Structure 1
Amino acid sequence: MKVLVFYTKKFAYKTAEQNLSNEELNIFYPDIKEINHQGEYSNCITAFIQVEKEDEEKGVKSREKKLANHLKWVARKNNTHSILLHSFAHLSSSKASLKFTADLLKAACTRLQNGDYEASITPFGFFLDINMEAPGFSMARVWGDL
């Protein structure tokens, strides 16, 4: 799993284009009405996450715990409890299945929420228009190969 994390003063998105079929979207959203097509966050950790094929061999529980712990560490370093997960399939040539990726992101989000973090996931299966304000200081950008 590859993770590029930004501390963002502001992160806003709006869905621009659906890049999965409705059937594929149904894996992540059993009820298609659940999709929040726009959002805005402030003072949050924004994690661009590439789940890889090799992660499937280790299982959701192992991978979501590793991801959540990494994100909590970055959040503590940046003095925030707000974490946004964004599936970003451009950090590696290896890609996990849609179902595994969806399950992992949901499980990591739940783990973070259970740990008193405000955690959310950007819309899965959409290209997004993004507006991001990311300051330049140590620990504001962290790369992880988990």
Structure 2
Amino acid sequence: MKVLVFYINSFAYEPQVKNVETAPDPGLGQEINNAILAFIQVEEEDEERDLKSREKKLVNHLKWTARKNNTKRIILHSFAHLSESKASFDFTVDLFNASQSRLENAEYEVFQTPFGYFLDLKIDAPGASLARIWASL
């Protein structure tokens, strides 16, 4: 799994083009402020491991990043451009949902961008030391 994390002052998205036939209705776009924005590429090899172990690894990384940036808000965004390897749509959704549940149980406010859609994005990210972190988990 590859993760590129940004601390953002503000982030907005608007669903545009459906690119996965089975994707559910995306709903309306949204704007979120003062949060960690995680671009996450779940890889094929992640499916060979236990879902819980992948969830724990991702959540621990996101919580650490959120603490370093003094926020309790996290945005999970599936981003299939950090690696050539891609996990299945269903596994990625399951991992995101499990991670969201674990983070919410730890009193984080969690958002997910819609799966299966190309989105228009607006990102305002400061140039602070720990505002951008890449990891291979």
TM over 0.5: yes
Of residues 106, 109, 114, the one that matches 2:97 is 106
Runs of 4+ in 1 over 2 A off after TM superposition: none
* 8 Å contact kept, 1:19–1:126: yes
RMSD after superposition: 0.9
Aligned pairs, how many? 137
| 2:108 aligned with 1:117 | yes
Aligned-partner SS, 1:71: helix
- Which residue in the other structure is 2:87 paired with? 96
State whether residues 37 and 123 of structure 1, in contact with CA within 8 Å, keep that contact through their aligned partners in structure 2: no
Measure the CA separation in 2 of the matches of 1:52 and 1:80.
27
In structure 2, runs of 5+ residues without a counterpart are: none
* TM-score normalized with structure 2 length: 0.97
The structure with the largest helix share of the pair is 1
Matched, 1:142 2:119: no
**CA offsets 1:84-117 (integer angstroms, 9 cap, x no match):** 0000000000001111011001110111111100
Share of identical aligned residues, percent?
A: 58
CA offsets 1:29-83 (integer angstroms, 9 cap, x no match)? 4xx4xx3331110000000000000101112111011101100000000000000
Gaps of 5+ in 1: none
